[in-house]
Amino acid sequence: MENLIKANGQVNLGFFESSPKTVNFEDFDLRNNMDNPITGLRKKMGFNQFQFIGLTGDDFILGVAIVSLKWVSNCFIYIYQPSTKTFKEYSWLKPLSMGLTTSNQPNAGTWSFKSGKNQVTISAENGKRTLDLKVGSELSANVELDETNNYNPLPVCCRAGYNGWVFTQKSTALDFTGDIHWQGKKVDSSNMLASVDWSCGYMRRETFWMWASLSCKTEDGTKIGFNLAAGVNETSQTENGLWINNELIKLDRAEFIFNRRDRNEAWTVTTSDGHINLRFEPDGERKEKINAVIIASNFTQLFGRFYGTIKDQNGKEHKIDGATGFCEDHFAKW
């Protein structure tokens, strides 16, 4: 598919076999709840984007996000090392799009965020996605994700509210090469895998989601990853997918059982089709609350370990015994 938006101004909806080359949101016939056209600055400022890359292994987790909400831009990075219980977080907010560059092509173009001497750049070209970041003298990374060999992302576009839509492209359990340096030492990334969440759209004014992501290798060397969500993308389709050795299995509804009063208690994460039956035990969290006049966000992303079983398309069970991953609980007004 060349463009997400059709020539008549309407959006392509559903699950796609391959991602659109360009999310040409400027061509969308955006209207208000009374069917009157929305154009100009109001249309431009209503379009949100974010990209998240997670690198996970037995003893190191790195999460990186660039977020464009037009009225405010945000970049955050966090590191967690399970063996030492070390957690470090970096976060920057800037008004409008100062210091920010994004692309409207899921598999091409450059995203970057700069604040002082700190910079994060994510670039995609010719089947390679690179993450290049530097934060003071504590953290640097230059890694390349391989999206050429059996690359099967999950691209989905769903309606959002009366007049909007959300496009997302997910991929997990991706191989990568390169170097990560943390506090003067090179991180052993030999057993680590990557995940990517590339999302955008005219989202509901108020929305929410729960989300989970895993990228790991089992004892027999099988690569397993999944993306699960409940909330924002559930209008006729889900954004739920399971990858076993890079082969994508589209999943049905996901269910998240957890205690919002104490999100650090164990979660239960399942799917209605029986493929996923897991317990998630948080080790820590990255959270942020923003309650401004125009926007609001109650965001908690937890990192921890999954336990339980995952079934492949043939019904074979794969045991998950302490693989590191993410869960998230998020309310947003934008």
pLDDT digits (tens, 9 = 90+) for 170-202: 999 999 999 999 999 999 999 999 999 999 999
Signed CA dihedral, 262, 263, 267, 272: sign only? positive
Q: What is the pLDDT averaged over residues 285-304?
A: 88
Helix, strand, coil percentages for the chain (3-state, nearest 5) = 5, 60, 35
- pLDDT band with cut points at 50, 70 and 90 for residue 148: confident
Residue identified by tokens 């999100």 is 263
Q: Residue 284 pLDDT > 80, yes or no?
A: yes
Give dist(CA 194, CA 146) in Å, integer: 9
Q: What is the side-by-side order of every strand in the sheet holding 118-125?
A: 100-101, 109-115, 118-125, 128-135, 139-146, 176-182, 185-186
Q: Name the residue type at position 74.
A: N
Give dist(CA 114, CA 133) in Å, integer: 10
Q: Which pLDDT score is estimated for 97?
A: 87
Q: What is the pLDDT averaged over residues 285-309?
A: 90
CA 207, chain centre distance (Å): 16
Query: Percent of the chain having pLDDT more than 70?
Result: 99
Nearest in space to 300 (alpha carbons), one of 258, 255, 263:
263
Q: Which pLDDT score is estimated for 89?
A: 94
Q: What is the pLDDT averaged over residues 315-327?
A: 96
- pLDDT band with cut points at 50, 70 and 90 for residue 291: confident
Q: Residue 231 pLDDT > 90, yes or no?
A: no
Nearest in space to 239 (alpha carbons), one of 165, 180, 154, 316:
154
Q: What is the mean pLDDT of the chain?
A: 95
- pLDDT band with cut points at 50, 70 and 90 for residue 18: very high
Q: What is the pLDDT of residues 71-93, one digit of tens each?
A: 889 999 999 999 999 999 999 99
